[in-house]
A = this chain, B = another copy of it.
Amino acid sequence: MAPAVPVSPLAPKSMPDMPAIDGVRFASGAAGIKYKGRTDVTLVLFDEGTTVAGVFTTSKCPSAPVDWCRANLGAGRARALVVNSGNANAFTGRKGVTAVELTAKLTSEATSVPASEIFLASTGVIGEPLPAERFGSVLGDLVRAADPDGITEAARAIMTTDTYPKVATATVDLGGVPVTISGIAKGAGMIAPDMATMLSFVFTDAPVEASALQTLLSRGVKGSFNAITVDSDTSTSDTLMIFATGAAARRGAPAITNAQDPRLAGFAQALDRLLLDLAHQVVKDGEGARKFVAVTVEGAEDDVAAKRIALSIANSPLVKTAVAGEDANWGRVVMAVGKAGERAERDRLAIHFGDTRVAVNGERDPDYSEAATSAYMKNEAITIRTELGLGHGRATVWTCDLTKAYVEINGDYRS
């Protein structure tokens, strides 16, 4: 079906071929939750022995599926994942809990796995009761259709206002044996740390115990999904989970029980990169985004201060509209540094747009060239770098510009 809005100009030019992950099968279908004529529910089946870890929204009003996943995560075992788009099952009160329980029950019946090893995620409108009974008619078909090659279709089925499916994959050595990591994600509004994207799922055949997997994921999310922002709004549904089938053990991969295991180094690095790739894809599909912006802060008192200042810049509507207008308005960057609440000394500040230093020692760079800077702002990818000159704290966050299309999309979302 043709998307209602054109694909983001920042979308990757091509999608990678997604190899099968041993022990994972996908199936997507149309349950008619909200959208007509497109897939809106995905079932992922895992072989026995699959471990799981997760990171969820910090919202004080999380969705019913987030509560469900948190409760099931303790055992660290997963056999199935059900994701629907079109309805977030958030702020649905007692009905929300009932819908989650019914979804798990229907899935358990269709798959013959215990409800405690079934994970659920929903994304879409908040506050509408989720008609979970509609899953009943499709789950049996999905179980029969489940196939190792369905991951790209799954990435498509979980989209809401996303304009393109988001996938990433890597193959990496684990104790002399190649293992695969693949992930999918969806945005597109309500993107801010913690968590950043609304939904992302990562799958691997590496044999990694649940607690080690959790350590890797919690570490990897900091510089990726927790370092992106579209509009500073944090969703009630944000969910990032990783599922490890361990199937590569049959090919000789070592079973990893500790995140500090040196054999895990390459895997951990590949996972970090994959999470960053998916996180960037989410930003590049920010509603109405036309520019991809990297905001780096250096020389802060510490990394925490650097990140807070970077987020203050990246979330500032005035900075974001200036980028949209291709205006190298570094005065607004100063404003955003000043409002962040962290230590900053006006007369030590330097600001770069790309390679051009626009301000230094608390004032406009003597060599500032409006023409050169304006030419730079026409690029699709913009870098804003602020040096505070106070310490060694450093952080980078990624965001997009704020355009009229963002207002248009979000001013008319429900109808």
**Chain A residues near B (Cβ < 8 Å):** 57-62, 88, 90-96, 125-129, 189-190, 192, 231-236, 315-318, 321-322, 324-325, 327, 329-332, 334-347, 349, 359, 361-364, 402-404, 406-408, 410-415
Contact = CB atoms under 8 A, between A and B. Distances in A.
Contact of A325 (B128, B232, B316, B411): B411
B233 A334 contact: no
A344 B59 CA distance: 9
Main secondary structure of the interface of A (DSSP, over half): loop
A233 B359 contact: no
A363 B93 contact: yes
Contact of A402 (B59, B92, B407): B407
A413 B335 CA distance: 15
Contacts of A236: 334-335, 338
A390 to B, nearest CB: 11
Contact of A93 (B128, B129, B189, B362): B362
B322 A231 contact: no
A410 B94 CA distance: 44
B363 A235 contact: no
Contacts of A231: 317-318
Given A95-B363, A127-B364, A318 B410 contact: yes
A349 B233 CA distance: 19
Contacts of A339: 58-60, 192, 233-234
A333 to B, nearest CB: 9
A337 B60 contact: yes
A317 B406 CA distance: 9
Contact of A61 (B94, B346, B361): B346
Contacts of A128: 364
B322 A411 contact: yes
A61 B349 contact: yes
Contacts of A60: 337-346
A80 B411 CA distance: 47
A317 B190 CA distance: 9
Contacts of A342: 60
Contacts of A234: 335, 338-339
A361 B340 CA distance: 36
